[in-house]
């Protein structure tokens, strides 16, 4: 379906020429992006010609897919107004802003929380389906630079009766805006701790993990829009930042990259309001891992180094070790073996300095030598050094735990890849089978992608009975919804 504009859409024609995309090429890209989100689209070069020459406006998710397709070619976000489609059915670019003002930051975060619920009510994929493919690593540039310049706001005290219209703030039974206390913040922190445990054990797609966005909307948003002192406000922003980062991590794990990006940006802004520099670094490290996973190694390095730079002399040894480990992952994806090795050595050195009595943040409870070894193995996998992969994977798998099930499954896949590249097909299939057993117990698109990569590497041995059996075992996982 489409509706007509007045006259040709010259903006769209100009940007298509700038990007060097033909009408047929754009139609193919839009259809492909739609297919990735479960949409069946059949646009062709004639459809695009109508959009440009007659000003026809496609309905539903199509305008946003068009912007995403062009943005991928240009390497930057493309807003709808730039291509003359700002009048399309709106899917607001909520969550991408990193406001300088604290009040604007509260508005930006709470708008994102409400948008997610609207998406869930709209059906499968919801608003994130409308924003399909709109992840752009360049969107992290402004948030990272603003955080580096000013990692903490001067004051966050808030009087909701003055700052917020009555219908926008949480009210008590008398109709007055909520007065937020430390007990309210504690509930958010407990919710974050529970969510971390469920996510590690069952994956970001588990129904218990999916309650985090609901918690942000129902619990965090009204508190952020309430009244609080500077002291309580700092704690509130910190707890909200943790939950928002978790929502981003779970979206990342389930393949919703565009949603994850928006949550991460808002989490970084909330961490700045909390004056919690290590937490801000943790969010930047999460951004770095996402950029690295998406193939943007250089940008991943920048984000990890931003986390490191502001935390020198502030973060604990264990925290600094994790940041250096994330930096190593990005260097390895960028194929810089020397820099990756240096970052890994630094990460290991920081970890050796860590002590049980250190005041490590609660969100770092997952990080131990096992996790270091697992990520080191992935670094060497990217650098095509199978002997090193095997060495670190053996250490990573030495103490399997039920607490971090997804991580254990990912390590098994990496181990299988290392065995395969070392010429040990039997061992590779054995580890692959163990990985499938774990993958069947969790809901994680990322784990599925790791399995797909292993099967792709096994294609040259496709006629081998062991490989045929492994592929058959994997079939239910690969056909199940992400």
Instruction: Provide the Cα torsion 443, 449, 454, 459; round to 10°.
Output: 120
Note whether residue 376 is domain-resident: yes
Return the closest-CA partner of residue 195 out of 179, 209, 205, 177. 209
The total of other beta-carbon atoms located within 10 Å of residue 40's CB is: 7
pLDDT of residue 74: 86
Number of domains in the chain: 2
CA–chain centroid gap for 292, Å, is 11
Q: Which of 67, 83, 99 is the last residue before a domain boundary?
A: 83
Note whether residue 200 is domain-resident: no
Note whether residue 29 is domain-resident: yes
pLDDT band at 313, cuts 50/70/90? Answer: very high
Q: Which of 64, 83, 102 is the last residue before a domain boundary?
A: 83
Note whether residue 452 is domain-resident: yes
CA distances from 13 to 31, 81, 83, 362 (A): 19, 13, 8, 52
Which tokens belong to 451?
Answer: 């399995």
Q: How far apart are CA 345 and CA 301, in angstroms?
A: 16
The total of other beta-carbon atoms located within 10 Å of residue 380's CB is: 26
User: What phi and psi values does residue 403 have, to the nearest 5 degrees?
Assistant: -75, -35
pLDDT of residue 477: 81
Q: How far apart are CA 115 and CA 348, in angstroms?
A: 41
Note whether residue 202 is domain-resident: no
Range with lowest mean pLDDT among 18-27, 61-70, 336-345? 61-70
pLDDT band at 164, cuts 50/70/90? Answer: very low
Instruction: Provide the Cα torsion 14, 95, 205, 288; round to 10°.
Output: 80
Q: Indicate the SS3 state at residue 227.
A: strand
Note whether residue 284 is domain-resident: no
Residue 237: Cβ-neighbour burial (10 angstroms; 0-12, 13-18, 19+): buried
Q: What is the pTM (predicted TM-score) of this model? A: 0.79
Domain span holding position 404: 368-482
pLDDT of residue 77: 78
- Counting residues of the chain whose pLDDT is more than 70, the rounded percentage is 85
User: What phi and psi values does residue 354 have, to the nearest 5 degrees?
Assistant: -65, 145
User: What phi and psi values does residue 177 have, to the nearest 5 degrees?
Assistant: -60, 150
Note whether residue 169 is domain-resident: no
Q: How far apart are CA 142 and CA 468, in angstroms?
A: 48
Note whether 439 and 451 are within 8 A (CB): yes
pLDDT of residue 263: 96
Average pLDDT over residues 163-184: 64
Q: How far apart are CA 482 and CA 307, in angstroms?
A: 31
pLDDT band at 31, cuts 50/70/90? Answer: confident
Q: Which of 48, 67, 83 is the last residue before a domain boundary?
A: 83
**Which residue pairs from 430-436 have beta carbons closer than 8 angstroms and sit at least 24 positions apart in sequence?**
432/458, 432/470, 433/470, 433/473, 435/409, 436/470, 436/473, 436/474, 436/477
Asked if residue 135 has pLDDT above 50, the reply is: yes
Note whether residue 26 is domain-resident: yes
Q: How far apart are CA 258 and CA 272, in angstroms?
A: 22
Q: How far apart are CA 442 and CA 199, in angstroms?
A: 9
Note whether 30 and 66 are within 8 A (CB): yes
Q: Which residues contact 19 (CB under 8 A, 6 or more apart)?
A: 70, 73, 74
Return the closest-CA partner of residue 381 out of 312, 447, 332, 323. 332
Q: What is the CATH number of the domain that holds 386?
A: 1.25.40
Range with lowest mean pLDDT among 187-191, 210-214, 219-223, 334-338? 210-214
Instruction: Provide the Cα torsion 446, 448, 454, 455; round to 10°.
Output: -150
Return the closest-CA partner of residue 416 out of 443, 456, 445. 456
């Amino acid at each position: 379906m489409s509706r007509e504009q007045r006259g040709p859409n010259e903006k769209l024609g100009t940007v298509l020429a700038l990007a060097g995309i033909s009408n047929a090429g754009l139609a193919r890209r839009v259809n492909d992006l739609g297919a990735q989100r479960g949409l069946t689209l059949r646009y062709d070069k004639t459809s695009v010609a109508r959009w440009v020459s007659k000003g026809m406006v496609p309905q539903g998710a199509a305008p946003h897919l068009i912007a995403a397709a062009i943005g991928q070619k240009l390497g930057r976000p493309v807003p709808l107004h730039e291509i003359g489609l700002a009048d399309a059915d709106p899917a607001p670019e909520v969550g991408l802003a990193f406001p300088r003002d604290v009040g604007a930051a509260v508005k930006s975060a709470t708008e994102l929380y409400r948008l997610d619920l609207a998406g869930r009510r709209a059906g499968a994929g919801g608003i994130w389906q409308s924003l399909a493919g709109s992840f752009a690593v360049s969107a992290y540039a402004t948030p990272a630079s603003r955080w580096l310049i000013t990692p903490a706001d001067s004051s966050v005290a808030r009087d909701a009766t003055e700052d917020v219209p009555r219908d926008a703030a949480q009210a008590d039974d008398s109709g007055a805006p909520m007065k937020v206390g430390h007990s309210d913040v504690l509930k958010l922190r407990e919710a974050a701790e529970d969510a971390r445990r469920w996510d590690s054990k069952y994956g970001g797609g588990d129904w218990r993990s999916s309650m985090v966005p609901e918690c942000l909307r129902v619990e965090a948003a009204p508190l952020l829009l309430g009244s609080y002192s500077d002291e309580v406000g700092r704690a509130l922003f910190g707890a909200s930042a943790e939950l928002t980062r978790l929502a981003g991590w779970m979206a990342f794990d389930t393949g919703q990259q565009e949603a994850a990006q928006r949550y991460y940006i808002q989490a970084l802004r909330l961490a700045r309001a909390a004056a919690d520099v290590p937490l801000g670094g943790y969010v930047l490290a999460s951004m770095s891992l996402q950029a690295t996973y998406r193939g943007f190694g250089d940008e991943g390095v920048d984000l990890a180094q931003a986390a490191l730079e502001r935390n020198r002399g502030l973060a604990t040894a264990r925290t600094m070790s994790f940041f250096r480990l994330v930096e190593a992952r990005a260097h390895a994806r960028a194929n810089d073996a020397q820099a990756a090795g240096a970052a890994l050595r630094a990460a290991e050195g920081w970890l050796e300095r860590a002590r049980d009595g250190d005041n490590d943040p609660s969100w770092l409870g997952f990080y131990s030598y096992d996790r270091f070894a697992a990520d080191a193995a992935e670094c060497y996998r990217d650098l095509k050094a199978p002997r090193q992969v095997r060495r670190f994977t053996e250490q990573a798998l030495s103490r399997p735990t039920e607490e971090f099930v997804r991580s254990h499954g990912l390590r098994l896949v990496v181990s299988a890849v290392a065995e395969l590249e070392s010429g040990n097909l039997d061992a590779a299939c054995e580890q692959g089978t163990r990985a499938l057993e774990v993958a069947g117990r969790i809901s994680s698109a990322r784990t599925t992608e790791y399995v797909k990569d292993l099967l792709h590497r096994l294609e040259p041995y496709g006629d081998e009975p062991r490989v045929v059996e492994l592929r058959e075992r994997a079939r239910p996982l690969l056909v199940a919804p992400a």
